[in-house]
């Protein structure tokens, strides 16, 4: 099982009447991989999951699991198991029957099922609790039962539809680690759906970021964060400051953008290489933690930007300073708390600095709305 | 389109379950609901013939049964007068008067039940919770597990000439002679109002129960007097329940047969009693069917009017 | 609610009025079942008696009616639950464009007046019978068959509503989860959806049985040779009443209250167990410890009290003999009547004197007549005060009162003369319905 079974989406479209829920999805998920679809609600990620699990036939294109085209194969015949957003545990069955439901429908004997249930209960650390009913469990325990139920079906691919969204913050963080550990242990392919970038980045080998039915970027978490492929990805994953303007000068790897805060020299995003020309509308993205208050002489790769201070807030580990560019666009700067107070009069001008390698230039496009 | 629907239907339900669903629903809709109604409609346009002549050449369509409802039997001396202007049209004064009296009385009973039930439904839905609310609900339901006839009978015991009220009133000396509540139809209206009380309370209660208390408190907080809270917040919210309750009570009251038979005064008839008589003592089934069609028609008109008037959808009635 | 004392008082008054309207008739009817006069009366109280229960048990028409009601009820329950379930499941799956039309059609039987359903059933199956060339005695013309069919038409709609309400709380995700775990559609239905619907089946069956048991409007057209209990009751109530009907009502109400309390008790017990964190399986299991069960469960306490009271009443009824009391009451009545006759004779003398002095008009004015004499020709002057002058009437009442208690169509007479004669009432309402 260590190699696992891969999943391929080949030019998949899903349409509901005139509405296009998924547009031209091309994804190749390797066997044994932890793969996430990340995007805001309504972006089509759940629809993609349903085409893989078989609840939704694609309008066009094909879904292959382990190289086999899944067209016309119903959800009950696919080698997938789905963990539902609300878990969908059967309320009228005790835990052990829930877990072994997939064996029951295959006609396994009761003894066999009990034995398997005990094994799985041990895996999820709920030994001896098989006779309880679903409503007697806590949120985290239900979560684990849902995982055990899906694993009992011995799927090649486990699909998870925002399974942690109903849990509180602490439990959610704990379950992340646990899920990752279970995946390592069983070694099968996990496809995970979430709108929480923290979940996607911490657990996944690879992430697909979606907006409005389109997959914007597929890459590992670090690349997604540091080298976004579109303004949407840049603004959706983590916090980012946007500096818009026309390209003043351009080289192979760097471009200078004429922004309201001043000229900004930045690295061209990998996805945008060769697609930008002088005079194009562009956006430069700088993370709040990559900004600093300018001091001393301007370095070689350093940018100097000016903006007016709006407010500031203290967040414990950092100070956040909010500024306005000349056209009103907002800038957020995070400074690590080093024990000294920063006090600046609102309205006063401030000069910021940032390194060209920590700024990314992309062609102008739609941002993620708050 | 149809083909794919059936294919998908059987795909979803399997052959056994799918066949059961389709057969059961088809039997219900076609054999139990649609065909009998159509059959009755057809029958109401026919002459009253002995069984041997049915289907023979004399068995042709006629309007005579409906004509009888409007114009009365032949030689009926009554003539329709419109705003005092006497016309030549024969006019079945007795039946039409009974018809309108039934409708008016049903409206009156409906209004009475609504006025009586709304406060309790509101109280139950918003204020009474926990064990006391449960006990009140239980008290509400118990009378309705008792047979309709027995409930009417109870009213007869109370309002009869030797009934409780008269015995007490005469015994105390307030009255010299007992009041004939039955003849005055007091017993009938009290009994009809009683009979369908629950069908008014429950739809309204269900609607009000789901109203968020905070809405009422917000309105009170904003300085709204209690009547405005009801007028602007509770009643609009409970409207589907109110319309549903009123529709049910009206239909059942207008279509009631047992209560008028048991509690009705000697000089007053309910429209259903006329229908009943055509079928039993009158022995003219087609005419009874025609009268039943008239009743059905007015009920349909009433439901549609209520739905149109209060902008309520069919799906919200009967909840 | 703002706890304004005035509002509280109004609320209390309103609740008292409402619940007296709701429960008063049943209480009064209950009292008449234990009172000895053979016309159901709650006041005046005469003698405690249980004879109406034995009269009821020996009334073979009522007993046959109950049997017919049960046959019809069971048939209707089976058909309605089957059809209602199918109707509700089809509603969840039907083509969205057809859904509104479908819903209107299947909900219509609730809104169609019962008499119309009865008539249409009667007419349709009569013609069907003729069309198939069957005899009048055929299966299709059988009263039980017609009644079950007629009732099923609308009771299926009730059942469907029960299932629809339950299905609305069903998470479609559960079916998908079952499919995803490899179940076929039929397995998913049988193992996940159906168990979820079992409680609704129970409620639908109870509702269907109650609706069938008490149906009058439809049944009155279809019963043929098999009158149900409701039909028999209606006949009795219309054409002659004695308190055995009240006795039946007492039995029905008692069963109802017991059922309701039992249901409430079970619910409380489960709620308590779940609140205590015990597994529900342990609750519904056999462990039936009485004292623990009663603790903090008012419904259970009331249920126990009602049961004890009921058993006590039955035992008491075995030993109790109301004969002595009855004789006493009869004696008292006779004395009262004698006195009354004397008084009336006195009055009559005075009145005839007055009439001679003042003319006839003055006397007739105050004695208001609720019955216009012209409308009740069979009983001239009945209901007016003048009736007491009729010596024949008095004699008749007197004669009936003294000898036999059984044949008393005229039990209340003698106290106030013909005014209270229930026969008047029966006759007049009988006329009303046969006009």
Shared-domain flag, residues A215 and A279: no
| Chain A residues within 8 A of C187 when measuring between CB atoms | 105
Q: Report pLDDT for C73.
A: 93
Residue B300 has pLDDT above 90, yes or no: no
CA pair distance C369, B180, nearest whole angstrom: 9
DSSP-derived letter for residue C267 is H
- The per-residue pLDDT for range A145-154, each reduced to its tens digit, is 888 888 888 8
Shared-domain flag, residues A344 and A218: no
Mean pLDDT score of chain C: 72
- The per-residue pLDDT for range B103-148, each reduced to its tens digit, is 888 889 999 989 888 888 888 877 766 667 777 777 787 777 777 7
Which stretches within C320-369 are classed as H helix? 323-358, 361-364
3-state secondary structure of A55: coil
Whether B147 sits inside 8 A of C229 (CB atoms) is: yes
Q: Which residues contact B128 (CB under 8 A, 6 or more apart)?
A: B136
Helix (H) or strand (E) holding C244: helix C244-275
Task: For chain C, list the contacting chains (3+ Cβ pairs, <8 Å).
Answer: A, B
3-state secondary structure of C365: coil
- The per-residue pLDDT for range B69-110, each reduced to its tens digit, is 776 666 666 666 666 676 666 666 777 888 888 888 888 999
Whether C100 sits inside 8 A of B315 (CB atoms) is: yes
Domain CATH number, residue A241: 2.40.50.140
Shared-domain flag, residues A323 and A279: yes
Name the more confident of C74 and B208.
C74
> What is the DSSP annotation of C48-97?
B--HHHHHHHT-HHHHHHHHHHHHHHHHHHHHHHHHHHHHHHHHHHS-HH
A298, burial (CB in 10 Å: exposed 0-12, middle 13-18, buried 19+): exposed
Name the more confident of B30 and A302.
B30
Partner-chain residue, chosen from A81, A131, A135, that has the shortest CB–CB distance to C181: A81
Partner-chain residue, chosen from C116, C117, C419, that has the shortest CB–CB distance to B178: C419
Q: Is residue A117 part of a domain?
A: yes
- The per-residue pLDDT for range C87-136, each reduced to its tens digit, is 998 888 888 788 888 888 888 888 888 888 888 888 888 888 888 877 77
Shared-domain flag, residues A216 and A309: no
- The per-residue pLDDT for range C362-416, each reduced to its tens digit, is 444 444 444 444 333 333 333 333 333 333 333 333 333 333 333 333 333 333 3
Residues C157/C121, Cβ–Cβ less than 8 Å: no
Q: Report pLDDT for C71.
A: 92
Shared-domain flag, residues A12 and A127: yes
**N residues, chain B:** 319
Residues B249/B200, Cβ–Cβ less than 8 Å: yes
Q: Report pLDDT for C419.
A: 36
Whether C279 sits inside 8 A of A101 (CB atoms) is: no
Q: Which residues contact B21 (CB under 8 A, 6 or more apart)?
A: B9, B13, C86, C89, C90
Q: Tell me which of A182-196, A311-325, A338-352, C218-232 is least confident.
A: A338-352
Instruction: State the residue for tokens 């509700």.
Output: C88
Residues A367/A313, Cβ–Cβ less than 8 Å: no
β-pairing verdict for A241-250 and A254-259:
antiparallel
| Chain C residues within 8 A of A94 when measuring between CB atoms | 281
Q: Report pLDDT for C155.
A: 93
Whether A132 sits inside 8 A of C183 (CB atoms) is: no
Distance from CA of A123 to the nearest CA of C (A): 19
Please check whether residue C331 touches A, CB under 8 A: no
Shared-domain flag, residues A222 and A333: no
Distance from CA of B155 to the nearest CA of C (A): 6
Angle ∠(C290,C293,C299) on CA atoms, nearest 5? 115
Instruction: State the residue for tokens 């009170």.
Output: B220
Instruction: State the residue for tokens 């899920």.
Output: A179
| Chain A residues within 8 A of C280 when measuring between CB atoms | 133, 136
Whether C260 sits inside 8 A of B314 (CB atoms) is: no
Shared-domain flag, residues A98 and A47: yes
Whether A133 sits inside 8 A of C195 (CB atoms) is: no
Distance from CA of A322 to the nearest CA of C (A): 45
For residue C400, what are its two tokens?
Answer: 């009936």
Partner-chain residue, chosen from C83, C86, C103, that has the shortest CB–CB distance to B315: C103
| Chain C residues within 8 A of B277 when measuring between CB atoms | 434-435
Q: Tell me which of A104-113, C163-172, C371-380 is least confident.
A: C371-380
Q: Report pLDDT for C79.
A: 94
Whether B24 sits inside 8 A of C120 (CB atoms) is: no
Q: Report pLDDT for B77.
A: 65
Shared-domain flag, residues A202 and A298: no
| Chain A residues within 8 A of C174 when measuring between CB atoms | 88, 90
Shared-domain flag, residues A314 and A181: no
The ipTM (two decimal places) reads 0.83
Domain end position, chosen among A226, A252, A285: A226
Structural domain boundaries, residue A207? 7-226
Percent of chain B residues past pLDDT 70, beyond the cut: 81
Shared-domain flag, residues A21 and A111: yes
Pick the CATH number of C54-242 from 1.20.1090.10, 3.40.1410.10, 1.10.150.120, 1.10.3720.10: 1.10.3720.10
Structural domains in chain B plus CATH codes: 2-35 (no CATH), 101-267 (1.10.3720.10)
Residue of C11, C248, C429 to mutate for B, most B C-beta atoms under 10 A? C429
pLDDT band of C78, cuts 50, 70, 90? very high
Instruction: Quote the number of domains for chain A.
Output: 2
3-state secondary structure of A363: strand
CA pair distance C88, C102, nearest whole angstrom: 11
Q: Report pLDDT for B317.
A: 57
Candidates A214, A147, A202, A237; CA nearest to A34 is: A202
CA pair distance C334, C349, nearest whole angstrom: 22
For residue C231, what are its two tokens?
Answer: 């039909």
Q: Is residue A1 part of a domain?
A: no
Q: Is residue A368 part of a domain?
A: no
Shared-domain flag, residues A55 and A21: yes
Which residues, numbered 195 to 214 in chain B, qualify as contacts with chain C under a Cβ-Cβ cut-off of 8 Å? 197
Residue C77 has pLDDT above 90, yes or no: yes
Q: Report pLDDT for C57.
A: 77
Average pLDDT over residues B53-65: 69
Q: Report pLDDT for C274.
A: 57
Q: Report pLDDT for C404.
A: 38
Domain CATH number, residue A149: 3.40.50.300
Partner-chain residue, chosen from A76, A91, A132, that has the shortest CB–CB distance to C183: A76
Domain ranges in chain C are 5-51, 54-242, 323-434
Q: Tell me which of A178-182, A187-191, C33-37 is least confident.
A: C33-37
Residues A130/A94, Cβ–Cβ less than 8 Å: yes
CA pair distance B101, B196, nearest whole angstrom: 19
Residue A367 has pLDDT above 70, yes or no: yes
Whether B264 sits inside 8 A of C114 (CB atoms) is: no
Q: Is residue A369 part of a domain?
A: no
Candidates B59, B28, B48, B54; CA nearest to C133 is: B54
CA pair distance A355, A332, nearest whole angstrom: 16
Residue B302 has pLDDT above 60, yes or no: yes
| Chain C residues within 8 A of B131 when measuring between CB atoms | 298
CA pair distance A166, C224, nearest whole angstrom: 61
| Chain C residues within 8 A of A132 when measuring between CB atoms | 279
Q: Is residue A146 part of a domain?
A: yes
Distance from CA of C180 to the nearest CA of A (A): 5
pLDDT band of C74, cuts 50, 70, 90? very high
């Amino acid at each position: 099982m260590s190699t696992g079974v891969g999943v391929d989406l080949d030019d998949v479209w899903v349409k509901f009447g005139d509405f296009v829920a998924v547009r031209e999805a091309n994804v190749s998920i390797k066997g044994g991989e932890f793969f996430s679809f990340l995007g805001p609600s309504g972006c089509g990620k759940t629809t993609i999951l349903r085409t893989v699990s078989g609840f939704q036939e694609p309008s066009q294109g094909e879904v292959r699991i382990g190289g086999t085209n899944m067209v016309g194969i119903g959800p009950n015949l696919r080698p997938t198991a789905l963990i539902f957003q609300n878990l969908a545990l059967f309320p009228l069955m005790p835990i052990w029957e829930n877990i072994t439901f997939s064996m029951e429908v295959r006609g396994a004997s009761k003894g066999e099922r009990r034995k398997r249930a005990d094994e799985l209960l041990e895996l999820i650390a709920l030994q001896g609790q098989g006779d309880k009913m679903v409503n007697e469990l806590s949120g985290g325990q239900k979560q684990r039962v849902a995982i055990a139920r899906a694993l009992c079906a011995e799927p090649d691919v486990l699909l998870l539809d925002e399974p942690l969204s109903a849990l509180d913050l602490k439990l959610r963080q704990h379950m992340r680690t646990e899920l990752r550990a279970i995946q390592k242990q069983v070694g099968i392919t996990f496809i995970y759906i979430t709108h929480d970038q923290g979940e996607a980045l911490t657990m996944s080998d690879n992430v697909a970021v979606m907006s409005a039915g389109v997959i914007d970027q597929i890459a590992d978490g670090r690349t997604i964060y540091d080298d976004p492929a579109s303004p949407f990805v840049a603004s959706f994953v983590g916090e980012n400051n946007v500096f818009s303007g026309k390209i003043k000068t351009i080289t192979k790897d760097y471009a200078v953008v004429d922004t309201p805060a001043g000229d900004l020299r930045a690295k061209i995003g990998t996805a945008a290489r060769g697609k930008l020309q002088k005079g194009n509308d562009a956006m430069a993205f700088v993370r709040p933690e990559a900004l600093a208050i300018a001091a001393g002489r301007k370095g070689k790769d350093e940018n100097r930007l000016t903006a007016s201070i709006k407010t500031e807030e203290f967040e414990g580990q950092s100070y956040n300073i909010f500024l306005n560019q000349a056209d009103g666009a907002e800038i957020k700067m995070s400074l690590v708390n080093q024990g000294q107070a920063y006090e600046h009069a609102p309205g006063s001008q401030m000069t910021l600095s940032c390194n060209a390698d920590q700024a990314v230039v992309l062609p102008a496009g739609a941002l993620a709305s708050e | 389109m149809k083909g794919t629907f059936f294919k998908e239907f059987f795909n979803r339900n399997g052959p056994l379950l799918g066949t059961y669903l389709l057969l059961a629903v088809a039997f219900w809709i076609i054999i139990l609901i649609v065909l009998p109604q159509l059959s009755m409609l057809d029958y109401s346009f026919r002459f009253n013939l002995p069984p041997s002549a049915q289907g023979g050449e004399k068995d042709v369509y006629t309007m005579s049964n409906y004509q009888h409802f409007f114009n009365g039997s032949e030689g009926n001396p009554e003539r329709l007068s419109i705003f005092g202007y006497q016309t030549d049209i024969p006019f079945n004064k007795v039946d039409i008067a009974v018809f309108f009296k039934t409708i008016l009385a049903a409206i009156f009973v409906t209004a009475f039940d609504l006025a009586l039930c709304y406060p309790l439904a509101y109280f139950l839905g918003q204020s009474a919770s926990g064990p006391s609310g449960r006990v009140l609900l239980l008290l509400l339901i118990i009378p309705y597990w008792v047979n309709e006839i027995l409930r009417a009978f109870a009213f007869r015991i109370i309002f009869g000439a030797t009934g409780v009220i008269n015995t007490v009133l005469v015994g105390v000396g307030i009255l010299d002679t007992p009041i004939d509540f039955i003849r005055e139809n007091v017993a009938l209206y009290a009994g009809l109002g009683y009979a369908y009380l629950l069908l008014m309370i429950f739809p309204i209660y269900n609607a009000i129960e789901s109203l968020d208390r905070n809405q009422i408190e917000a309105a009170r907080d904003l300085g709204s007097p209690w009547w405005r809270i009801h007028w602007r917040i509770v009643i609009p919210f409970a409207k589907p329940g109110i319309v549903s309750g009123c529709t049910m009570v009206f239909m059942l009251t207008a279509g009631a047969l047992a209560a008028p038979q048991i509690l009705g005064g000697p000089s007053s008839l309910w429209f259903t009693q006329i229908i009943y008589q055509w079928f039993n003592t009158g022995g003219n089934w087609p005419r009874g069917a025609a009268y039943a069609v008239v009743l059905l028609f007015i009920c349909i008109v009433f439901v549609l009017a209520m739905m149109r008037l209060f902008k309520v959808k069919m799906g919200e009635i009967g909840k | 609610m703002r706890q304004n004392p005035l509002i509280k008082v109004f609320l209390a008054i309103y609740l008292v009025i409402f619940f007296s309207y709701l429960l008063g008739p049943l209480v009064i009817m209950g009292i008449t079942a234990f009172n000895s006069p053979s016309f159901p009366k709650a006041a005046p109280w005469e003698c405690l008696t249980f004879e109406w229960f034995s009269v009821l048990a020996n009334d073979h028409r009522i007993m046959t009616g109950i049997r017919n009601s049960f046959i019809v009820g069971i048939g209707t329950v089976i058909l309605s639950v089957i059809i209602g379930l199918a109707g509700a499941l089809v509603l969840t799956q039907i083509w969205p464009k057809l859904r509104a039309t479908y819903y209107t059609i299947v909900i219509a039987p609730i809104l169609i007046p019962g008499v119309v359903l009865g008539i249409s059933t009667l007419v349709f199956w009569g013609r069907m019978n003729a069309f198939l060339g069957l005899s009048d005695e055929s299966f299709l013309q059988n009263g039980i068959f017609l009644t079950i069919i007629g009732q099923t038409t609308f009771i299926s709609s009730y059942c469907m509503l029960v299932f629809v309400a339950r299905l609305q709380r069903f998470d479609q995700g559960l079916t998908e989860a079952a499919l995803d775990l490899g179940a076929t559609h039929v397995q998913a239905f049988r193992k996940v959806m159906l168990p979820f619907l079992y409680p609704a089946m129970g409620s639908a069956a109870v509702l269907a049985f109650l609706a069938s048991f008490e149906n009058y409007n439809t049944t009155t057209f279809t019963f043929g040779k098999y009158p149900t209990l409701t039909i028999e009751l209606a006949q009795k109530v219309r054409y002659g009443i004695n308190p055995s009907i009240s006795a039946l009502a007492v039995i029905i109400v008692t069963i109802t209250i017991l059922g309701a309390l039992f249901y409430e008790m079970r619910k409380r017990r489960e709620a308590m167990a779940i609140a205590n964190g015990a597994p529900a399986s342990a609750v519904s299991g056999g462990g039936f410890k009485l004292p623990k069960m009663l603790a903090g469960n008012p419904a259970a306490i009331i249920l126990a009290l009602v049961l004890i009271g009921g058993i006590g009443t039955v035992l008491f009824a075995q030993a109790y003999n109301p004969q002595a009391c009855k004789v006493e009451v009869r004696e008292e009545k006779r004395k009262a009547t004698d006195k009354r006759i004397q008084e009336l004779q006195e009055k009559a003398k005075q009145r005839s004197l007055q009439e001679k002095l003042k003319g006839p008009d003055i006397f007739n004015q105050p004695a208001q007549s609720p019955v216009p004499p012209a409308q009740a020709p069979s009983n001239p002057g009945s209901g007016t005060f003048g009736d007491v002058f009729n010596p024949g009437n008095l004699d008749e009442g007197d004669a009936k009162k003294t000898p036999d208690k059984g044949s008393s169509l005229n039990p209340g007479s003698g106290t106030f003369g013909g005014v209270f004669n229930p026969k008047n009432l029966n006759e007049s309402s009988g006329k009303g319905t046969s006009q």
